[in-house]
């Protein structure tokens, strides 16, 4: 399998303080059709000018490149962990793919994941893969309300291990909401402050704005005012 490329060709000029890995990831997500622009209704009932659907990393090449971004983000983050945990369902493929890419980079770690429903035959239980022990890093696509993270924490602690952090692809950096009231914190801030877990994200909404500011493509740059206005209204 071809190694993930360090940077896509035809990338936009970067601003001096831009995060190269994040900028490459945003361009990759746009080119893969995973990050789209328009008008999308969020779970909180907001009309967002962009939509990130990690489920569209749906073939071997795209999943491999995505895992490469996660792996390089984790190596650069300095997070200390002993294994990966992928919450069902999206996290299962992510944890497996990231474990492969970490091994390619010389960091071979075990991984496990959970079933939504307990199995009553064979090995039984809800956990599959390596024994859940030590410092466990949760791998997911985004953190929307923190529900998946809290469920993962409970499973990890029940197994006698210690959750140590969460790795996600995109931090939307917007106020969490239950559909009626907005929180002063984002979902990622909630995980950091209330659940006391480190969070590593490949890219953030700020990185997306930098990408739109730096691109020379008019069809992309036209979305900058709406994305900026959305952040001004709902950002943290």
pLDDT at 7 over 90: no
Domains, the chain, ordered by start: 20-234 (3.40.50.2020)
Catalytic residue among 41, 43, 107, 119: 119
51-65, 66-80, 145-159, 196-210: which has the minimum mean pLDDT?
145-159
The proportion of the chain whose per-residue pLDDT surpasses 70, expressed as a percent, equals: 90
Q: How confident is the model at residue 16 (pLDDT cuts 50, 70, 90)?
A: low
Tokens of 46: 């907001």
Average pLDDT over residues 9-26: 73
Checking if the pLDDT of 119 tops 90, the result is: no
Query: Catalytic site residue 119?
Result: yes
Using pLDDT thresholds of 50, 70 and 90, give the confidence band for residue 9. very low
Q: Is the pLDDT of residue 62 over 90?
A: yes
Q: How far apart are CA 31 and CA 36, in angstroms?
A: 9
**pLDDT (tens digit per residue) in 123-174:** 557 899 999 999 999 999 999 877 889 999 999 999 999 999 999 999 999 9
Asked if residues 193 and 184 have their Cβ atoms less than 8 Å apart, the reply is: no
Task: Say which residue the tokens 């000018």 belong to.
Answer: 49
Q: Which uninterrupted H or E stretch holds 112?
A: strand 111-119
Catalytic residue among 116, 121, 175, 223: 121
Structure tokens at 97: 């793919």
Cα–Cα distance for residue pair 50/35, rounded to 1 Å: 7
- Residue 78's alpha-carbon distances to 71, 170, 198, 200, in angstroms, are 12, 18, 11, 10
Q: At what angle do helices 90-104 and 60-77 cross, to 10 degrees?
A: 70
Residue 181 among the catalytic residues: no
């Amino acid at each position: 399998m071809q190694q993930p490329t360090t940077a896509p060709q035809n990338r936009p000029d970067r601003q001096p303080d831009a995060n190269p890995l994040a900028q490459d990831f945003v361009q990759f997500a746009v080119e893969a059709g995973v990050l789209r622009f328009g008008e999308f209704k969020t779970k909180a009932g907001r009309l967002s000018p962009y939509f990130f659907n990690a489920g569209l990393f749906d073939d071997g090449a795209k999943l491999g490149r995505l895992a490469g971004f996660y792996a390089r983000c984790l190596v650069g983050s300095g997070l200390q962990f002993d294994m990966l945990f992928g919450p069902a369902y999206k996290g299962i493929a992510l944890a497996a793919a990231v474990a492969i890419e970490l091994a390619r980079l010389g960091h071979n770690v075990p991984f496990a994941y959970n079933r939504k429903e307990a199995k009553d035959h064979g090995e039984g239980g809800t956990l599959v893969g390596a024994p859940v022990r030590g410092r466990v890093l949760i791998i997911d696509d985004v953190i929307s309300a923190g529900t998946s993270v809290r469920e993962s924490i409970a499973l990890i602690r029940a197994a006698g291990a210690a959750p140590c952090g969460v790795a996600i692809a995109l931090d939307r950096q917007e106020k969490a909401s239950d559909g009626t009231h907005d929180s002063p914190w984002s979902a990622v801030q909630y995980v950091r402050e209330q659940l006391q877990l480190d969070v590593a994200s490949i890219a953030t909404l700020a990185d997306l704005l930098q990408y739109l500011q730096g691109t020379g493509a008019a069809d992309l740059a036209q979305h900058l005012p709406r994305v900026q206005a959305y952040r001004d209204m709902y950002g943290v």
